[in-house]
Amino acid sequence: MTLPRAELIITGCTVLLHDDQERIGWEEDAAIVVRGGAVESVTTAAAVRDTPAAERIDARGQVALPGLVNCHTHAPMVALRGLAEDLPTERWFNDVVWPVESNLTEKDVELGARLACAEMIRGGVTCFADHYFTMDTVAAVVVECGMRALLGQAYFSSQGPEGREDSLEFALRHRGSAGGRITTALAPHAPYTVTDADLAATAGLAREHGLPVHLHAAENRDQTDTSLVRHGRTPVEVLADTGILDADVLIAHGTGITERDLPVLARAGGRVAVATAPRGYLKFAWPTTTPIRALRDIGVPVGLATDGAASNNSLDVWESMALTSLIQKSTEGDPRWLTSRQALHHATLQSARAVGLGEEVGSIAPGRRADIILVDLTGPHTQPVHDLPATLVHSARAADVRTTIVDGRVLMRDRHLLTIDVPAVVGELEERLPALVDRGHGRRVQQYDT
Amino acid sequence: MTLPRAELIITGCTVLLHDDQERIGWEEDAAIVVRGGAVESVTTAAAVRDTPAAERIDARGQVALPGLVNCHTHAPMVALRGLAEDLPTERWFNDVVWPVESNLTEKDVELGARLACAEMIRGGVTCFADHYFTMDTVAAVVVECGMRALLGQAYFSSQGPEGREDSLEFALRHRGSAGGRITTALAPHAPYTVTDADLAATAGLAREHGLPVHLHAAENRDQTDTSLVRHGRTPVEVLADTGILDADVLIAHGTGITERDLPVLARAGGRVAVATAPRGYLKFAWPTTTPIRALRDIGVPVGLATDGAASNNSLDVWESMALTSLIQKSTEGDPRWLTSRQALHHATLQSARAVGLGEEVGSIAPGRRADIILVDLTGPHTQPVHDLPATLVHSARAADVRTTIVDGRVLMRDRHLLTIDVPAVVGELEERLPALVDRGHGRRVQQYDT
């Protein structure tokens, strides 16, 4: 009798597992069997010694984790990395980012997205939630590079009804594409750039088509204060009143979420999640960070994110994981809060839920898609290991990811990218930068005044 | 005529240079000539084409920076990395670290220091200021691994006069050893563990022997408050009253430095510097960070540090550089403050001054010791480069350091360590961990009650 052939078998690693209470545990010297792009089993090396497989990876000394999820980014903005430094939010938008974005071509977006995917795959990110323009191009890059993504075509009300319609058409056109690796969302920019009427219309479309909504809201305290002055309501209350909170909704940042928003979020009719990208909040010197503890208390999952590289300077979700733990301890004044185990829960199950893939990814378990990363802990900076969660969260770095797998396909093997040619992308992008960064025209895609 | 042979020539890199106002500039496609362990010249590749050299490094696509300086650490504590997690300061000391340190053997210190040096060399650190016990062993590791170090044998008053005397003897015995790579300091632990009489005696010894003092002071706000209650003086005022501030003094942390301390520090008779290690302050949820802006206003250099890996979880000075910039922006509420150029000034000249090597290292210039690192910026996470300081501080990572050179000697080439065998160190250390972490005896080296 011939045993059926697996696509991929990984042996010898320590595997992060979740128990039925979602507690994190570790299976040592384990084997992961992948078939049909999904995890078939997590077993022992001995059990799979004779199982035929198209590919085998010997991962001794490595830890297998669910791939990281970047729950809110603008991938093509890597082209602007380092262009708008040390500026307050308003000047960052109005003086640099929105003028430059008025120059963006499809080719810029393509190259930016490709470079972003290269960076994310090298950093152990297997899935990202992108919220940007020219998203057909981003979708094509996702198809080609093999990642998983939740994509939304962003729109402002200043574009007229077309923006909203394009966002819907994009979502319907690409939903479930790339063999299911692409899911889609409606993507109004934010309550301060999209009218209540457009938000209400978007909420209706979300209900009608069963689509989630991904948008910025209560990004910072200023936005909340301005919203209260102008509308007598917080941004979250605007989302409730316009029906957005009756859809599945992914809120980016939420550092301006206040006490009065908590019952509103708790009562939401859909599934609400928040994405936190703490590096940028520090860099912009925002006075608060995402109130993770309060959100956890009302059962709202908080996923990890980087935002775009124009503010965050990297798409390093590993750093977001460490910073989330550190900044939460500091903000809450409690060193016992947001332990490394909690950080790993945010990085795995909560991030998967935030992007609407809570049943598909976020843990290594039979039936889940095989989005797996292998992390090398043999470096001097990760030894000795007294406490594996602490080693992973506070000592390991993105560069310790050796292998990145999505849907059972190896996208990076031993630090070598298999689907993206970085020097070619960088060479092409460099030639385009002078035209991209030109601000002589005085145009901008939008005006920031919260 | 034969040209004299250089030890090392590095070609093709972009070199960070300081002008006579200490502003940072860049020399592209440059060559660095090293002779006698020092930088002889920074010139062009063409100028050195025919210069004979024992070793040449082609560093195209890389940036040459002065080696990073870890201005305050306890290198052997890497053996405790991850052992005391998510705890308040007092429990961290009393329940875990000080009980475990009572088990420390010379062999543990040797292995810990060796592993620490491996981590630091891989992270681009060429020099570290160490403050610990069994420092003869640490000195031997420094000799063998090729790093530069400012070493001090720590003491508590609870050890009796012996502790203080050992600290002096260590400093005199090792000063200038390892061909000048080792400098030494007197190392009282802190004003809350060392009596005023011992501090005054140490100040006298510092004057008599021309030695600097390296100690913890005003580590956090609690310590300052307790000092005010007990002695009516802040820790910095204690340092002034006991004469410590008339010596050259390196203060670790100083997050408890208050407004009233600033004139005291400004009037100090010696050279005062502060080392900041912001990661640990976040992790312990201390309410403040090092007041860098106030210290800069009175001309006190602030060097970058990691503290020990038992609190910081790594000896990653690159991360300290990025975090210092981020946390300073956030704390001061000013995104324009602590720019990437300022962060690089802290990482180079200010850190060199903090460890008393302001004339020897900290910049790549003729006559300075050749402590140089080569950083690869070709990775997708560091492209494109719109602003080189921002790329270095906010996008690059410790793992992007490819080559580390101290005194003209290559300690890591292309990520490969040349002076330390990490697997051997880890293997030996692992066997010793059960005895090291045993806390059944109920002893501790000291009691923390600030």
- Residues B342-375 have pLDDT tens digits of 999 999 999 999 999 999 999 999 999 999 999 9
The phi and psi torsions of B412 (rounded to 5 degrees) equal -140, 130
Q: At B442, is the pLDDT very low, low, confident or very high (cuts 50, 70, 90)? A: confident
**Which residues lie below 8 Å from residue A166, measured CB to CB, with a gap of 6+?**
A153, A155
**Is it true that the peptide bond before A389 is cis, omega within 30 degrees of 0?**
no
**Is it true that the peptide bond before A4 is cis, omega within 30 degrees of 0?**
no
Contact A340/B81, CB-based, under 8 Å? no
Å between A185 CA and nearest CA of chain B: 27
How many of the other CB atoms lie within 10 Å of CB of A56? 15
Cα-based angle A436, A438, A443 (whole degrees, multiple of 5)? 100
Q: At A2, is the pLDDT very low, low, confident or very high (cuts 50, 70, 90)? A: low
pLDDT of residue A5: 87
**Which residues lie below 8 Å from residue A95, measured CB to CB, with a gap of 6+?**
A84, A87
Query: Which two tokens mark B440?
Result: 């059944």
Arithmetic mean of pLDDT, B277-299: 97
pLDDT of residue B270: 87
Residue B99: pLDDT over 60: yes
**Which of helix, strand or coil describes residue A71?**
strand
Å between A216 CA and nearest CA of chain B: 21
Q: What is the pLDDT of residues A84-93, one digit of tens each?
A: 999 999 999 9
CA distances from B425 to B70, B317, B420 (A): 22, 22, 8
Q: Does A316 touch chain B (CB under 8 A)?
A: yes
**Which of helix, strand or coil describes residue B130?**
strand
Contact B335/A284, CB-based, under 8 Å? yes
* % of chain B exceeding 70 in pLDDT: 99
pLDDT of residue A84: 95
Q: What is the pLDDT of residues A108-130, one digit of tens each?
A: 999 999 999 999 999 999 999 99
* Closest by Cα among B340, B341, B347 to B364: B347
Cα-Cα-Cα-Cα torsion B180, B186, B187, B188, nearest 10 degrees, comes to 180
Arithmetic mean of pLDDT, A249-273: 97
Q: What is the DSSP letter of A369?
A: B
pLDDT of residue B15: 98
Arithmetic mean of pLDDT, A409-420: 98
Q: Residue B15 corresponds to which amino acid?
A: V
Query: Closest residue of A to B111, CA-based?
Result: A384
Q: Strand B24-35 to strand B6-18: parallel, antiparallel, or no bridges (unpaired)?
A: antiparallel
Query: Which two tokens mark A138?
Result: 């981003």
Q: How many helices (H) and strands (E) does chain A have?
A: 17, 18
Counting every residue written for chain A, the total comes to 450
Identify the bridge partners of residue B73 per DSSP, sorted by sequence position: B130
Residue A52: pLDDT over 70: yes
For residues B404 and A135, what is the distance between their CA atoms, to the nearest angstrom?
A: 42
Residue A3: pLDDT over 70: no
Identify the bridge partners of residue A217 per DSSP, sorted by sequence position: A253
Q: What is the pLDDT of residues B263-278, one digit of tens each?
A: 999 999 889 999 999 9
Å between B212 CA and nearest CA of chain A: 30
Lowest-pLDDT choice from A301-305, A438-442, B248-252: A438-442
Arithmetic mean of pLDDT, A3-7: 81
Identify the bridge partners of residue B249 per DSSP, sorted by sequence position: B213, B272
pLDDT of residue A447: 87
Q: At A449, is the pLDDT very low, low, confident or very high (cuts 50, 70, 90)? A: confident
Q: What is the pLDDT of residues A152-194, one digit of tens each?
A: 999 999 999 999 999 999 999 999 999 999 999 999 999 999 9
Å between B36 CA and nearest CA of chain A: 30
Residue B88: pLDDT over 70: yes
Q: Does B282 touch chain A (CB under 8 A)?
A: yes
* Closest by Cα among A54, A14, A15, A17 to A34: A54
Most A-contacting residue of B96, B339, B386 (CB-CB within 10 A), to test interface: B386
Residue B1: pLDDT over 70: no
Contact A381/B287, CB-based, under 8 Å? no
How many of the other CB atoms lie within 10 Å of CB of B366? 10
Arithmetic mean of pLDDT, A331-357: 98
Query: Which two tokens mark A426?
Result: 């960088």
For residues B152 and B73, what is the distance between their CA atoms, to the nearest angstrom?
A: 11
> Which of B 115-144 lie inside 8 A of A, CB atoms?
115-116, 118-119, 122-123
Answer yes or no: are the C-beta atoms of A238 and A197 closer than 8 Å: no
Most B-contacting residue of A95, A282, A339, A412 (CB-CB within 10 A), to test interface: A282
* Closest by Cα among A288, A294, A226 to A256: A288
pLDDT of residue A446: 87
Contact A82/B437, CB-based, under 8 Å? no
Find the farthest-apart pair of alpha carbons in chain A and give their distance in angstroms, rounded: 74
For residues A174 and A209, what is the distance between their CA atoms, to the nearest angstrom?
A: 13
Arithmetic mean of pLDDT, A41-53: 94
For residues A113 and A74, what is the distance between their CA atoms, to the nearest angstrom?
A: 9
Arithmetic mean of pLDDT, A255-260: 98
From chain B, pick out residues whose CB is under 8 angstroms from the CB of A336.
86-88
For residues B431 and B441, what is the distance between their CA atoms, to the nearest angstrom?
A: 20
Residue B294: pLDDT over 70: yes
pLDDT of residue B436: 94
Q: At B149, is the pLDDT very low, low, confident or very high (cuts 50, 70, 90)? A: very high
Q: What is the pLDDT of residues B16-38, one digit of tens each?
A: 999 999 999 999 999 999 999 99
**Which of helix, strand or coil describes residue A331?**
helix
Answer yes or no: are the C-beta atoms of B151 and B344 closer than 8 Å: no
CA distances from B291 to B221, B255, B273, B321 (A): 12, 7, 12, 15
Q: Which residue has the tokens 């790579």?
A: B181
pTM of this prediction exceeds 0.80: yes
Strand stretches in B218-259, DSSP E: 249-253
Contact A384/B81, CB-based, under 8 Å? yes
Helix axes A135-145, A106-122, angle to 10 degrees: 40
Q: What is the DSSP string of A399-437?
A: GGEEEEEETTEEEEETTEESS--HHHHHHHHHHHHHHHH
Q: What is the ipTM of this complex?
A: 0.97
**Mean pLDDT, rounded, of chain A:** 96
From chain A, pick out residues whose CB is under 8 angstroms from the CB of B86.
329, 335-337, 339-340
Q: Which of A82, A387, A433 lies at the smallest CB-CB distance from B82?
A: A387
Higher pLDDT, A282 or A450: A282
How many of the other CB atoms lie within 10 Å of CB of A336? 13
Arithmetic mean of pLDDT, B378-407: 98
Query: Which two tokens mark A25?
Result: 């545990």
Q: What is the CA radius of gyration of chain B?
A: 21
For residues A153 and A236, what is the distance between their CA atoms, to the nearest angstrom?
A: 21
**Which residues lie below 8 Å from residue B416, measured CB to CB, with a gap of 6+?**
none
pLDDT of residue A65: 98
Å between A383 CA and nearest CA of chain B: 7
From chain A, pick out residues whose CB is under 8 angstroms from the CB of B327.
282
Q: At B2, is the pLDDT very low, low, confident or very high (cuts 50, 70, 90)? A: low
Residue B245: pLDDT over 90: yes
Cα-Cα-Cα-Cα torsion B442, B443, B445, B450, nearest 10 degrees, comes to 40
The A213-217 sheet, strands edge to edge? A213-217, A249-253, A272-276, A302-304
Answer yes or no: are the C-beta atoms of B397 and B381 closer than 8 Å: yes
Q: What is the DSSP string of A165-204?
A: HHHHHHHHHHTTTGGGTEEE-BEE--TTTS-HHHHHHHHH
Query: Which two tokens mark A53?
Result: 């497989």
pLDDT of residue A4: 72
Q: Does A387 touch chain B (CB under 8 A)?
A: yes
Q: What is the DSSP string of A123-156?
A: TTEEEEEEEESSHHHHHHHHHHH--EEEEEEEE-
Counting every residue written for chain B, the total comes to 450
Cα-based angle B159, B160, B166 (whole degrees, multiple of 5)? 75
**Which of helix, strand or coil describes residue A16?**
strand
For residues B216 and A340, what is the distance between their CA atoms, to the nearest angstrom?
A: 28
The phi and psi torsions of B442 (rounded to 5 degrees) equal 75, 5
Q: Residue B138 corresponds to which amino acid?
A: V
Q: Does B86 touch chain A (CB under 8 A)?
A: yes
